[in-house]
Structure 1
Amino acid sequence: MKLSILMPVYNEAATIAVAVKRVLDVAYPVDFELVIVNDGSKDGTHESLAAIDDPRARVITHEKNRGKGAAIRTAAEAATGDYMIICDADLEYSPEEIPGLLAPVIAGEAEVVYGTRTFGSHSSFSFWYVMGNRLVTTFANVVFNCYISDLETCFKLMPLALYRRLDIRSAGFGMEAEATGKLLRLGHRPYEISISYRARGREQGKKITAWDGVEALWIIARTRVAIRGKYRAGAA
């Protein structure tokens, strides 16, 4: 088994070198590769990425910023692993916890694994950020009649072929809602494992906004309606 770790990067000069080192230093129980997509950064990120000298890491460059979803799509197309996981370069997530997400897959207990964040006063960006995440997650649970704890988590582990099959089209942060909605549509119920999380603030480069939450709700609703349309067409 080989794991492809997909890292989208946009203006992360302050954290990218540490993020890459931490990913590469983890003792994974499987072979792995790190596929980095520099999504049109303008802040010196390119220089840090140019200094990477490790055969396990590859860097792909978007000349213009196209969004997280587009960067992950590029990385997934270039990846060569059996499984994939997304790992942002902002140090909000701990790559050292990725082996824990691999454990149920290796044991044959799961195919899709989500790292569920525990929000606390020391780890949350704001009250409204946490409430927005809970609203979006609850909405997905209602419309798909399921129960997941953290729809927006970055740590989504699944077969690379499955992610490609999802055909994610959202260019920005909406890719998280689209990926989860399509997984639920196909009948996949993620195996959830608790992970640590430390959100950064706007002054540190936090990019997600309230509009991204509204977009996520729309994407989930659109995905659910697409199912009903498919069933109607089949009945006809």
Structure 2
Amino acid sequence: MAVTETEDGLHRVIEVLSETDLSGYLSRIRDDLQVTKLSHFEYVQSNDLERIGLSKPAIRRLFAAVKRKQRSYTKKTSNTQSMSSPPATSCLISSSSLHLSTTLGSGHYGIVRQGIWNGISVAVKILRGCNAVSDFVREANAMHTLSHQYLIRLHGIVLSEPLMMVTELAPLGSLLSRLRSEPEHFLVHMLFEYARQISEGMDYLEQRRFVHRDLATRNIFLVSYEQIKIGDFGLARMMESDCDLYKTGAVKSQSIPVAW
């Protein structure tokens, strides 16, 4: 059963490999077998997967997961055609077109470096280790459905080893670091304007049914001294119902009223 073009794509293949603990085979499945969509598995035989190193139990597990994912997204697409969320449009970026330079920072599952892509300055998040693939995919999936003047924009992902995410660069860095290094530069009216922009960006997220979950000055970035952008969507979650309660993962019965 094929999934729709807007749902099928390499990001779905990555999700399936992550769910079946087969992320280490991504490059061989992509490059040797030329599989870049879930629907491409219809043309893959067991001996093809054995040839690149998968065991028979792993092959059965992978094919079963592919079928489940196809059924899941086919059903989801039919139930959400009337929703306003844009289709997945992440750009696949070749590593050869990306030139990295200085390190900008580090996080719990990777480092961020400055780079040049297609003649423009970008920020590049580089995945550290294969255990965070699902988090990486979750953040990319969250970002490529969002587009707003006060949110960091995703340019695309690089399917290399390690995986990389290419985003808009905020030249002045995080608001936290600037407040600490240049406290005298920020006047009250500037902070008020930042608060207004943050509120507008968060209002957009609320309209898209997203909870950011990690809004902090370290995740607010300065494009200029006049404009901020909200970034770091690694913890973002989409609310699954129309109610204004968010259930935490740690305590399933615990619900928290949230404004966005």
What is the TM-score when the length of structure 1 is the normalising length?
0.27
What is the TM-score when the length of structure 2 is the normalising length?
0.25
The structure with the larger Rg is 2
